[in-house]
Structure 1
Amino acid sequence: MWMRDAHEKLDAGNFCLFLIISWALWYYRNLLLMENESSKPHQILDFAMAYLQTYNEVSVVPHHRHPTPHPTSWLSPARGIIKINYDGATFDPTHETGISVVARDNSGNCVAWVSQRLARPASAFIVEALAAREAISLALRHYFGRRLHYTFTCPAFERRR
């Protein structure tokens, strides 16, 4: 509720600053609780301002550029069917993994999604298995239809049959 109020009362720039300061306060609070590292209020504000400045510098898109169309390989499902795609990824510098699941209808509208960041499991195969498990869990939670039909298109799973 308070977040919506802030969004309604602040302009876009100040709302972004508000979000970043809120996140920075949470981050530094966790550092204090988990690692006993304390910070001065001005350090937190300086960090938030630098973060916002960096974000603004890299997120500005020149107006004269037009988006380049990219061919898509996604094929829509039949009418009344929900298609669920999933993937897992590893981030080498941080030694973390992420999984994402998206469910779309025949028009391409997103009807459900999941995105999670995890501690790095043992292998890329396990990351894909976790993503597949989350895709099945999403389908069961939302119970898309009376029957569940699935096709694995992950090369890692195909090799292990």
Structure 2
Amino acid sequence: MEKIWKSHRFGIIGQPKPVSMWDWIIQLQQQLTEDSFLLAVVVVWKAWESRNREMHGEQGMATDEFISWGLTFLNLYQQAQLPRTPIHQRAHQTEWKPPREGIIKLNFDAALPAGTNHYSVAVIARDWQGHCIFWAARSFRGRPRAVDCEAHAALFALTRAKEESWPSIIQEGDCLKVVEALRGEDAQSCSFGAYVEDCWL
């Protein structure tokens, strides 16, 4: 991790070691810009998750991938935020709309960070009042086509919904090809057909 903190993104060199984790977080907040501080917090969280995976015999994330993963995660998170529209303005038709009461809406997306050998998928679940009740993101090795990544994101979202046992959901994405395939009955001709069929199941 020392290599990460000494990278150009953070440049934390020669700073006194904090007494506690909280002291260290405060130091980061004082030394970094707001964007770099948010990235640092995400990197710490992902490093902790990766360490737990390794302790349980699973594959963790390589140290040199933490920063690119964190940037992707923050980008997806910021895109998923509800737009702040003043009451006197008329909402645009393309803005996020809440589901009916009792239904959970899942917004899924995928990203392929430039210059990396991985892609990320993410989902955010919100209720009829627009409250975020769940979100998740994960990175996978490889560089498939963008549409295949979007289909994987759709399956990722549905899998998380199943784990939460939500009885009624709406799924929403910005890739027309994937959405049309999910609405259809035959996905075998698509390169991402396996993902769609798993979604149906």
TM-score bin (small chain): 0.5 to 0.7
Q: What fraction of aligned residue pairs are identical, expressed as a percent?
A: 25
Change (3 A) 1:75 1:14: same
**More deviation in 148-157 or 115-124?**
148-157
Q: Gapped runs of 5+ residues in structure 2?
A: 1-19, 32-36, 48-61, 63-83, 86-90, 188-201
Residues 6 and 15 in structure 1, CA contact (< 8 A), matched pair in contact too? no
Normalising by structure 2, report the TM-score.
0.44
- Secondary structure in 1 matching 2:112: strand
Deviation at 1:117, TM superposition (A): 1.9
Deviation at 1:73, TM superposition (A): 0.9
Structure-2 separation of matches of 1:138 and 1:114: 8
Tell me if 1:85 matches 2:107. Answer: yes
Could you tell me which residue of structure 2 aligns to residue 6 of structure 1? 21
Deviation at 1:137, TM superposition (A): 0.3
Tell me if 1:136 matches 2:149. Answer: no
Q: Gapped runs of 5+ residues in structure 1?
A: 27-33, 35-67
Residues 99 and 128 in structure 2, CA contact (< 8 A), matched pair in contact too? yes
Tell me if 1:124 matches 2:137. Answer: no
Normalising by structure 1, report the TM-score.
0.54
Deviation at 1:84, TM superposition (A): 0.4
Q: Tell me which amino acid in the other structure corresponds to 1:156.
A: K
Tell me if 1:156 matches 2:173. Answer: no
Total equivalences in the alignment = 111
Structure-1 separation of matches of 2:176 and 2:162: 24
Structure-2 separation of matches of 1:153 and 1:14: 39
Residues 103 and 111 in structure 1, CA contact (< 8 A), matched pair in contact too? yes
Structure-2 separation of matches of 1:123 and 1:130: 11
Deviation at 1:15, TM superposition (A): 5.3
